[in-house]
Structure 1
Amino acid sequence: MTTRDGRSTRWDAHRAERRTRILNTAIDLIDSGTGWDTASLCAAVPIARSALYRIFPDQRILENLIREAIVARLIQAVPTSVADGDTARSLVERSVDEYVDWVVRHPSLQRYLSGTGTRSGLAVSAPVAAGRSAFVCMVSTKVAAALHLSAPPDSPAYVAVQRGAHGIVGLLESTVIDFHLTRDRPPTTDESLNAFLSAAVLGVIGAIADIAAVPFDPDSLIDTEAGKLP
């Protein structure tokens, strides 16, 4: 049986720390609007080009890891937990506000997630797809809670929740990107957009309730123990 000494453990920790520093530095460069290439990343870390290639021998892997780290930041920034006294309306409005605010504050990061400005041109990378799936899962759980709905996977109600969650995530992402990132002006908070998105999301939840044949009051308290999906 092979054992690892203290030096090996310390070296593993050192390599992990360098990987994290490289990824965070790349994200900072993207967030600043300048973007990154090998030269600018090595200068900013700082790290020798040869050392960077040893850690990340494939640029596509590095770009995917950068996206994965950005997705983690986005998920952390958007609240999905139900607070005491939350209604469907308050949770939706808070989540929409936080997502739009994140895009307004970090437009270059959202562009990078969308595949803009990367040399590999991977518009839908595995980390982005996984992040989107994570959001869909979180949204479907909250929709079920808002509707006090428990449904088996083969039921129309379950299918409606899953499809509705996909629709909500797609609606938010595409609308916010179109409004804030395709205009010839810096992105700014627009309360009318947030109000529209919140109303649209509540409308989708209402449609899910109709399909599932359950009542929906957007202003009633959410019971997190009432709605469960397998």
Structure 2
Amino acid sequence: MTTTPAARDGRQARWDQHKEERRRQIIDAAIAVVEESGPDAEVRVQQIAERAGLSRTVVYRHFEDRADLDRAVQATILDAFWAQLLPEITLDGTVPQIIERGVGTYVRWAVAHPALHRLADHDVTSGGRTDHSGGPLEQGLERVAGQIAGIVQLGVVALGGTLSEEGRASIDPLAYGMVGAAFSSVRRWLVHPDPTLTPDAVITLVSQTLWFAVDGHARRFGVRIDPDRPVQDIAGEVLAGLVEGGGR
């Protein structure tokens, strides 16, 4: 009996789905083991396999090696974190509130999931060094910085400022630098041998530092930010003024 192409395609689709479900089963098991073991524990593949109800051999059928498994786990952890963080980066509220909302989301997640933060914050391909080579962490930081850069550009215009070509070009490294500074500060606090600051104190410290940077650079672009007024209210006044001016 000859197998039709449709039948072969159907079997292949079912097999691909099975492999994807099995990979997800292994990744979920790894995340559970990491959370249970704590940030300083060494998690073995055998522990992950047992948690998933599989053998080590089956685990390695779905991943090239340990680094491949770790990369997949790291990417999954970070995807879940970005899904919480990115929706908070909007123009809703005052500028200090916008900053504190994003910083607070990050700090509270890191405190709630210290082991996941430790894994997500490391380069899984080079002995635990922080990843600056285009891995999941670096890609995620670029996503956050890109979203912030876009909001800054919109905010400058909305608040009545102007951007020269050089000013526009400077927003990308500025946004990336602020994101990197926030992550570095929280990272240092989490690993400090004697952390005396509370999470709320860290949120305030990092948020204020970023606010000072935003306020200072805004002045370069001709924008004076009122820290007590919602951005949308200020932008509405600017837009109303432009409309009124255009009508005269």
Contact 1:147 1:215 in 2 (8 A): no
Number of aligned residues: 222
How big is the shift at 1:26? 1.0
Decide whether aligned partners of structure 1 residues 164 and 55 sit closer, same or farther in structure 2, where only a CA change above 3 A counts.
same
Which has the bigger relative contact order, CA under 8 A and spacing at least 6? 1
Deviates more, 1:126-135 or 1:28-37: 28-37
Decide whether aligned partners of structure 1 residues 74 and 190 sit closer, same or farther in structure 2, where only a CA change above 3 A counts.
same
- Give the share of equivalent positions with the same residue, in percent: 25
Q: Which residue of 2 aligns with 1:181?
A: 191
Contact 2:74 2:136 in 1 (8 A): yes
Contact 1:60 1:120 in 2 (8 A): no
Q: Find the aligned partners of 2:155 and 2:226 in 1 and give their Cα distance.
A: 9
Q: Which residue of 1 aligns with 2:218?
A: 209
SS of the residue aligned with 2:223? coil
Contact 1:209 1:216 in 2 (8 A): yes
Contact 1:27 1:66 in 2 (8 A): yes
The equivalent position to 1:166 in structure 2, one of 156, 167, 176, is 176
Decide whether aligned partners of structure 1 residues 76 and 188 sit closer, same or farther in structure 2, where only a CA change above 3 A counts.
farther
Larger Rg: 2
Q: CA RMSD in A?
A: 2.9
SS of the residue aligned with 1:148? helix
How big is the shift at 1:173? 0.7
Decide whether aligned partners of structure 1 residues 21 and 38 sit closer, same or farther in structure 2, where only a CA change above 3 A counts.
same
- Mapped pair 1:108 → 2:118: no
Q: Which residue of 1 aligns with 2:149?
A: 140
How big is the shift at 1:192? 2.2
Q: Report Cα offsets for 1:51-73 as digits up to 9, x if no partner.
A: 11111022222211111111111
How big is the shift at 1:188? 7.9
Letter in 2 for 1:214: V
Q: Report Cα offsets for 1:136-183 as digits up to 9, x if no partner.
A: 11221232333336988x822223321221121111111111112223
How big is the shift at 1:75? 0.7
Gaps (5+ residues) in structure 1?
none
Q: Which residue of 1 aligns with 2:244?
A: none
Structure number with the higher helix fraction is 2
> What TM-score does the superposition give when structure 1 sets the normalisation length?
0.83
The equivalent position to 2:88 in structure 1, one of 77, 80, 91, is 80
Q: Which residue of 2 aligns with 1:30?
A: 34
Gaps (5+ residues) in structure 2?
236-248
Q: Find the aligned partners of 2:61 and 2:127 in 1 and give their Cα distance.
A: 20
Q: Find the aligned partners of 2:217 and 2:191 in 1 and give their Cα distance.
A: 30
Contact 1:100 1:189 in 2 (8 A): no
Decide whether aligned partners of structure 1 residues 145 and 217 sit closer, same or farther in structure 2, where only a CA change above 3 A counts.
farther
How big is the shift at 1:36? 2.1
How big is the shift at 1:18? 1.0
The equivalent position to 1:65 in structure 2, one of 56, 72, 88, is 72
Q: Find the aligned partners of 1:176 and 1:161 in 2 and give their Cα distance.
A: 23
